[in-house]
Amino acid sequence: MEDFVNKMVEKVGIDKATAEKVIAFLKDHSEDALKYLQESGIKDKLPGGLGKMF
């Protein structure tokens, strides 16, 4: 999980505490997040075929 936090800090430009809050939010709202990804079309634009994982 620490690697994911570090990637968010590096790629998104947010601080570590905020990245940890985002992850906690996504954990608490995972069903809503997956539904959004499926309905928005974003999943088809994810690199490396990651959209197929949803």
What pLDDT is stored for residue 19 in this prediction?
94
pLDDT at 46: 65
The predicted pLDDT at position 16 comes to 96
pLDDT bucket at 7, cuts 50 / 70 / 90:
very high
pLDDT tens figures, 10-51: 999 999 999 999 999 999 998 998 888 778 877 676 666 555
If we measure between CA atoms, which residue out of 5, 3, 6, 43 comes closest to residue 22? 5
Rounded distance between C-alpha atoms, residue 34 and residue 54, angstroms? 7
Specify the pTM: 0.63
**Token pair for 20:** 């940890």
Are 9 and 15 within 8 A, CB to CB?
yes
Domain coordinates in residue numbering, the chain: 2-53
Interatomic CA distance for residues 48 and 52, integer angstroms: 9
